[in-house]
Amino acid sequence: MRSLDLPASDTAPALKAIGLPDAVAHPDEKDLAAHLARNRYGRFTLTEAIRPGWQLDVVPQAGYRYDAYVDPATGARLPALVAAVSSEELFDTFMELLEPLGETCDVVIESSHESEVGVVESTREGIERLVLESLLWDFEDVLLHDGCAGIAVMHPELSLEVMLDEHKLLVVYAQSRQPFERILKGRGLVRDDRLRFISQGEHMHTSNTRHARRFQELATRLGT
């Protein structure tokens, strides 16, 4: 899975604060519980996977921006789109973004549940997109609400990739952004290249043992 230069850190099961000073990372239990329970900011609803940091230096909001992946070895640039989508629209948008990838795809799922070994990736090559979509609908819960799980779906030959990452951001890599941008605009998303995402500020990931088990079920069903 490719990675943009969006500040983020490895996650751990249960709850992990990313980039929070000690005094801020440990508010009293009542205040922390209230902060974690809040999932709505204006018209934007978060999944259960992630929460902004205590100081709210990035307030979650819907939208997308242009970006690019730069190959560290060659310096080649691959255009990208990054989007934040409200929870109630997120999975439908992800599935719609898979359509331009064609009839057959490769899939990579990644997990950081076992944080002591880092991020673990599993790959399935050559799966029919419609079969994949049917399978992913069965695991919508873990893909949306597990802050230690991510997925990328790729064209088997071209530089085309759609990712739903651990921060529940949508990232598209493609030489031509237009087919994917039309989908985002059709979903009512507005382009703002100054938009900051939750991964770029202090933030917390959440997960649990049920999500970890469900992720393993997904890996088994995919045949990775």
Structure-model confidence comparison of residues 75 and 174, the more confident one: 174
Phi/psi of residue 213, nearest 5 degrees? -65, -40
If one counts the domains in the chain, the total is 1
Q: How many CA atoms lie within 13 A of 158 on its CB side?
A: 15
* Residues pairing with 173 in the sheet: 80, 161
Is 3 among the domain residues?
no
- Is residue 2 one of the residues assigned to a domain? no
Number of alpha helices (DSSP H) and beta strands (DSSP E) in the chain: 7, 12
Residue 152 near residue 163, CB atoms below 8 Å: yes
Burial level of 219, CB count in 10 A (0-12/13-18/19+)?
A: middle
pLDDT 10s digits, 137-191? 999 999 999 999 999 999 999 999 999 999 999 999 999 999 999 999 999 999 9
Is 4 among the domain residues? no
Residue 10 lies inside a defined structural domain of this protein: no
**What 3-state class would DSSP assign to 52?**
strand
Handedness of CA 141, 143, 146, 149 (dihedral sign): positive
Reduced to 3 states (helix: H, G, I; strand: E, B; else coil), residue 121 is strand
Report yes or no: 217 and 139 within 8 Å, Cβ to Cβ: yes
Evaluate whether residue 84 is within a structural domain.
Answer: yes
Assess if residue 77 is contained within a domain: yes
Instruction: Report d(CA 4, CA 74) in Å as an integer.
Output: 15
**Most confidently modeled of 19-28, 35-44, 95-104, 106-115?**
95-104
Instruction: Give the C-alpha separation, 50 to 206, whole Å.
Output: 6
pLDDT tens digits, one per residue of 118-140? 678 899 999 999 999 999 999 99
**pLDDT tens profile 15-36:** 444 444 444 456 678 887 888 8
Q: Is residue 57 part of a domain?
A: yes
Domain assignment of residue 5, yes or no = no
Residue numbers of the domain that contains 207: 15-222
